[in-house]
Amino acid sequence: MSERLQPGDVAPAFTLPDADGNEVSLSDHKGRKVIVYFYPAALTPGCTKQACDFTDNLSVLASAGYDVIGISPDRPEKLAKFREKESLQVTLLADPDKKVLESYGAFGEKKLYGKTVVGVIRSTVIVDEEGKVERALYNVKATGHVAKIIKDLAI
């Protein structure tokens, strides 16, 4: 089971393919704040709601200096379908081997309908301009999460 990140930790570096197969790295965003959110699966109701919420609030977040990256274990082809079907504007990255999910503490044991299972833990990590963890939120709800982030960050 992976360790959860804490404020002040250096955010683990990553380079993953986006929905078009282009490599995207956390270091590409140096000098900007980045909201990295981890979700279980594209094209599922909760994940769709969350991705649409981020897209709907992207201009608000961007004007406050935040970039948004969503990471799931899906393959780039599925992410492309997800983006097209839902008109998503957030950057979606594929982590099929779950190495980045694990390095961020977003993969491991969780409760699902009262049972303990191993899978993606819906999480959001906010990384500052220097690449350090500003906030690390685990077991977040898909609905209302973006509004809570905006409120908590006083945007």
Catalytic residues: 47
- Determine if residue 108 is left, alpha or beta; phi over 0 gives left, psi from -120 to 50 gives alpha, anything else beta: left
Rounded CA separation 46/84 (Å): 17
- Lookup result for tokens 């406050």: 64
In sequence order, the 6+-apart residues with CB closer than 8 A to the CB of 74 are: 41, 42, 82, 94, 96
